[in-house]
Structure 1
Amino acid sequence: MPRVLLLHTGGTLGMAGGRPSALRPAAFFKTLKARVPELFQLADIELQLFSNLDSSEMQPELWQRMATHLHHQLQDFDGAVVTHGTDTLAYTASALSFMLRNPPCPIVLTGSQRPLGEVRSDARLNLIDAVLSAVKGPREVTICFDSHLYRGNRTRKVKVSEYDAFESPNCPVLGTLGVDATFEPGLRARGPFKLYEKLDPRVFMLKVYPGLDPALPLQLLPHVRGLVLEAYGAGNFPIAPELGRSLMPLFVQAKERGVPVVVVSQAHRNGVDLSLYESGAASLAQGAIGGADMTPSAALVKLMQALAYHPRSPEALARFIQTPVAGELSVGRRTVEPEVPSRPRKTRRIHAG
């Protein structure tokens, strides 16, 4: 049987309690063996406890430890499943995709909207699908949820109370797990398996909204190393000086201080084009970096890594942000990342039973 590492980090999937009491971390492995015994018919599973936290407690320091742990372990397994809370699942998936380059096997993250111990839990099917994806799916970091497999750094959580909690607006699904399980080839390896564990978490994410007082982010600049700006549409934001809310002083002072600003869109589909409107063009003149169609979570984590590995070269940092590392962004008008072959691809079909 294929060997699969199941690394538990916490989240709703492994919690107990619930209405009327609050959910809390619980003994996950005992519940797993009792509730999903057929999981062990799919693979020889080794259970490891990394943490038992609500995912709101997940931090960059834990990503570094997790990536290092997986880097040491993966050569001995045919796949890995990481159980994780849903609230920060997209952040962790993005971080692992940047930190674990060219993995030797699939790394699948999953969670649930209801705890495994509950009768109507979605955890059981998510776990079964995740283990199957770890055995048969593409060799990259993915999220498996509600019978779909998504590229991890392209995924957003879009629902709180429904089982189809995640979407991948700008990247097709990598797998569909129904009566049959169908997987796409995914990214091609571009070299040996390497760990890039360094991150600089001194980054701030700013969302543009009507009424934003520019004085607030200006006060933050002395305390951050990088800034991700969630702009409107294709990269728009206010610049009219007569209204007193222009964000151009933020770009000017960020450039003076050597603080890179990555601009992404609040819109879920498509991405920014800073050359399209006056405000975007003005920000480009001040050194702003267009984040293309990256999700805000992917852009934030990628900027943390860029600051750690390119702290003294603004040009190298900008190139790194705008170059696909793990399929996290589209280049120009392309809808498929360069790592994916452009020729017609053969789809693998595996019967789910």
Structure 2
Amino acid sequence: MPRVLLLHTGGTLGMAGGRPSALRPAAFFQTLRRRAPELFQLADIELELFSNLDSSEMQPELWSRMAAHLHRRLPEFDGAVVTHGTDTLAYTASALSFMLRNPPCPVVLTGSQRPLGEIRSDARLNLIDAVLSALQGPREVTICFDSHLYRGNRTRKVKVAEYDAFESPNFPVLGTLGVDATFEAGLKTRGAFRLHEALDPRVFFLKVYPGLDPALPLQLLPHVKGLVLEAYGAGNVPIAPELGRSLQPLFIQARERGIPVLVVSQAYRNGVDLTLYESGAMALAQGAVGGADMTPSAALVKLMQGLAEHPRGGEPLARFLRTPVAGELSVGRPTVPPPAPKRRRPTRVGRVG
């Protein structure tokens, strides 16, 4: 039988107790064998307990440890499944996609909206689909949820109380597991399997909103090494000086301090193009990098890795942020439609004679 590593990190899937009382971590493996014996008919599964945490406790240090562990273990298996809480699942999937370059087998993350021990749990099917995806899916880091396989660094959690909790707004699914299971080819392998576990977590995520006082992020600059800015639309921010809330000083001071600024969009679909509007052009002139159609979670983790691998910043870091590492952003095609042409006012024609 093919061999699959099942690495448990915690989350709702492996918890017990529940509604109306609070969920609590529980012995996962016993429940797994009792509730999902079909898994062991698909593959020779080796169970490992990496951690038993609510995913809100997941931190960059744990990503690095997890990536190093998987780097050691993956060559021994035909696939790997990582069980994880849904709240930070997209962050962890993004981190592993950047840290595990050219994995020798599929690495599939999954979780559930209800614990495996509950009657109406989605955990059992998610686990079965994840193991099948680890055996037949593309050799990259993915998320398997609600019978769909997504590229890990393209995925966002969009729902809290429904089973179809994840979507990939700017990239097609890599697999559909219905009556038949079909998979796409995924990323092409480029070179040897390598580990890039270093991260610099001194990054701040700033969401632009009406009424944001620029004095607040300006006070943060001395304490951070990088900034992910979630702007409006194609990368727009307020820059009108007469209203007193221009963010132009933020970009200017960030450049003076050598702090990279990576701009992503609040829009769910499409992405950033800093050449379209005046405020984007200002950001470009001050050295900001457009994040194209990267998800906010992928941008945050990629900047952490970029700071660790290019501590001097500058153009090497900017080039790293602009270049796809694991299929996390689109290049070579527009990520936003061109602006609509301006309407011309009709000309009044006077009556003649």
TM-score, normalised with respect to structure 1: 0.94
Percent identity among equivalent residues?
87
Counterpart amino acid of residue 44 in structure 1 = D
Per-residue deviation at 1:334? Answer: 6.4
Residue number in structure 2 paired with 1:74:
74
Look up the match of 2:280: 280
Report which of the two structures shows the higher radius of gyration computed on alpha carbons: 2
Distance in 1, Cα, partners of 2:334 & 2:148: 23
- Partner SS for 1:127: helix
Q: Deviations over 1:220-265 (max 9, x none)?
A: 0000000000000000010000000000000000000000000000
The one-letter code of the counterpart of 1:157 is K
Q: Report how far residue 332 of structure 1 moved.
A: 3.5
CA distance in 2, matches of 1:269, 1:159: 16
User: Unpaired runs of 5+ in structure 2?
Assistant: 336-353
CA distance 1:334–1:284, shift in 2 (3 Å): closer
Distance 2:46 2:15 in 1: 20
Question: Structure 1 unaligned runs (5+)?
Answer: 336-353
Residue 202 of structure 1 and its aligned partner are, at CA, apart by 0.1
Q: Which residue of the partner structure matches residue 350 of structure 2?
A: none
Instruction: Specify the code of the residue in structure 2 equivalent to 1:215.
Output: A
1:241 and 2:241 aligned: yes
Q: Tell me how far apart the structure 2 counterparts of residues 84 and 75 of structure 1 sit (CA, whole Å).
A: 22
C-alpha distance in structure 2 between counterparts of 1:24 and 1:255, whole Å: 46
Tell me what 1:343 maps to.
none
Note if 1:322 corresponds to 2:310. no
Alignment of 1:106-117 (within 5 A): 106-117=106-117
Q: What does 1:131-280 correspond to in 2, within 5 Å?
A: 131-280=131-280
Aligned to 1:351: none
* Counterpart for residue 341 of structure 2: none
1:30 aligned residue:
30
Alignment partner, residue 56 of structure 2: 56
Q: Deviations over 1:323-350 (max 9, x none)?
A: 0000000003168xxxxxxxxxxxxxxx
Which structure 1 residue ranges, 4+ long, deviate > 2 Å from structure 2?
none
CA separation in 1, counterparts of 2:199 and 2:313? 16
**Would the aligned equivalents of 2:258 and 2:313 in 1 still touch at CA under 8 Å?**
no
CA distance in 2 between counterparts of 1:130 and 1:278 reads 45
Return the letter of the residue paired with 1:124.
Answer: R
What is the alpha-carbon distance in structure 1 between the residues aligned to residue 92 and residue 266 of structure 2? 20
Distance 2:125 2:333 in 1: 36
Residue 273 of structure 1: SS of its match in structure 2?
coil
- What do residues 55-77 of structure 1 show as CA deviations (whole Å, max 9, x unaligned)? 00000000000000000000000
How far apart in 1 are the matches of 2:59 and 2:330?
A: 27
Read off the aligned partner of 2:98 and give its amino acid letter.
F
1:71 maps to amino acid: H
Number of the residue aligned with 2:7: 7
CA distance in 2, matches of 1:199, 1:166: 26
Q: Secondary structure at the match of 1:230?
A: strand
Instruction: State the alpha-carbon separation in 2 of the partners of residues 216 and 331 from structure 1.
Output: 34
Partner of 1:306: 306
- Matched to 1:166, the amino acid is F
- DSSP 3-state at the match of 1:254: helix
One-letter amino acid matched to 2:91: Y
For 1:167 and 1:50, the matched residues in 2 are separated by 26
Q: Aligned letter for 1:59?
A: Q
Q: Deviation of residue 268 (structure 1)?
A: 1.2
SS in 2 for 1:188: coil
Task: State the distance in 1 between where 2:245 and 2:298 align.
Answer: 28
Distance 1:115 1:130 in 2: 16
| Cα distance in structure 2, aligned partners of 1:207 and 1:113 | 27
Q: TM-score, normalised by structure 2?
A: 0.94
Q: Which amino acid aligns with 1:146?
A: D
Q: How many residues align?
A: 335
Q: Secondary structure at the match of 1:90?
A: helix
In 1: Cα distance, 2:110 partner to 2:63 partner: 16
Q: CA deviation at 1:19?
A: 1.5
Q: Is the 8 A contact 2:200 2:307 kept in 1?
A: yes
